[in-house]
Structure 1
Amino acid sequence: MKKRGLIQILFCGLIIVLLSGCGSSDQTNSQQGSDKEESVTGEVVPSLIDLGNGMFEYRVKNQTGKVVEFEFTSGQRYDYALINKDGEQVFLYSSVASFIQALGEEKLKPGEELVYEIDLSKVNVKSGTYILEAWLTATRDEKYKVSTDYIVE
């Protein structure tokens, strides 16, 4: 009887460890240029950087003079979509990804930024020009949505 109880406890512990690793969090906090003064404009600024070969970085930088907090209802921190020339959404990241169902938050100090990797190299879409849109999935009204062209040859 004791062995069965011990096995159940170990099994539950294993499940908890495995579930804590679920989801997709390519996020890093970084503070660039910590040795030099950064200009503070009073905004949180999103950007999309094309790294080539279908790779992008979605960044959200705190350019305010105070800590900015983001609250999330799951392990998902950002989402992105591809929109075709007719305005139709042909790909949505969250429709093919899984995220842990746990509340979370991110705090950005002045000058810090969240950086998320977007890999479109394996997204199967026809040749053409698309709009890549990316945004935070935080609970606040502002989603820090940004977009850029994405050309598939």
Structure 2
Amino acid sequence: MKRKAAIGWLMAIMAALMLAACGTESDNLPEDPESGDEIIEGEVTSTIEETDNGTYRYSVKNDTQEAVTFNFTSGQRYDFTLTDEQGNEVFRMSSVSMYTQALGEEILRQGEELQYEIQVPEANLEPGTYTLEVWMTPTEGTNYPAEIEHTIE
């Protein structure tokens, strides 16, 4: 009988501990202003936009609740390619560039944005429409690609 009582008390204590642990952590997520109390979770997003003829701005924004750390093995932070209408890669920036060989890191805190200005070189390409794809080059994790059409007249 004592054994059954001891097991009962042990089960009750375990249940109380499990219930006490539930819901004690605060997410501190932003509220959705349109719905009142609904909690939303952001994400890290990447975009690319043309700022001038042949110049683009590649942005990576952190809309999450935690800092995101990018570790790099060189001074290179991003790379980009141009692909023709048939899907053939005709230019890759890293194939014609040199970077410092030093470890580095970029920390993207909550609400912050990394921006890189990209000048697409002429590269003796035929007139036409190409796909410009840009991405981060961290040692691990997501590389946040973005793409846009690039026209050579």
AA at the equivalent of 2:74: S
TM-score normalised by length of structure 2: 0.71
Question: Aligned residue for 1:109?
Answer: 109
State whether residues 66 and 110 of structure 1, in contact with CA within 8 Å, keep that contact through their aligned partners in structure 2. yes
In the TM superposition, what is the alpha-carbon distance from 1:141 to its structure 2 partner?
3.0
Q: Secondary structure at the match of 1:94?
A: helix
Cα RMSD (Å): 2.0
AA at the equivalent of 1:114: L
Unaligned runs of 5+ in 2: 1-32, 34-39
AA at the equivalent of 1:148: I
Question: Aligned residue for 1:66?
Answer: 66
Question: Aligned residue for 1:100?
Answer: 100
Equivalent residues in 2 for 1:4-153 (5 A)? 41-153=41-153
Question: Aligned residue for 1:7?
Answer: none
Instruction: State the identity %.
Output: 45
Summarize the Cα distance change of 1:41–1:127 in structure 2 as closer, same or farther, 3 Å threshold.
farther
User: Which is bigger in relative contact order (C-alpha 8 A, separation at least 6)?
Assistant: 1
Equivalent pairs counted in the alignment come to 117
1:70-124: per-residue Cα shift (whole Å, max 9, x none)?
0001110000000001111101000111100111100011111111111115333
**Which shifted more, 114-123 or 124-133?**
114-123
* Equivalent-residue separation in structure 2 for 1:125 and 1:111 (angstroms): 38
Over 6 Å off, 4+ runs: none
Unaligned runs of 5+ in 1: 1-38
* Equivalent-residue separation in structure 2 for 1:129 and 1:116 (angstroms): 22
Higher-Rg member (1/2): 2
State whether residues 81 and 92 of structure 1, in contact with CA within 8 Å, keep that contact through their aligned partners in structure 2. yes
* Equivalent-residue separation in structure 2 for 1:101 and 1:89 (angstroms): 26
State whether residues 80 and 93 of structure 1, in contact with CA within 8 Å, keep that contact through their aligned partners in structure 2. yes
Q: Secondary structure at the match of 1:143?
A: coil
Summarize the Cα distance change of 1:41–1:56 in structure 2 as closer, same or farther, 3 Å threshold.
farther
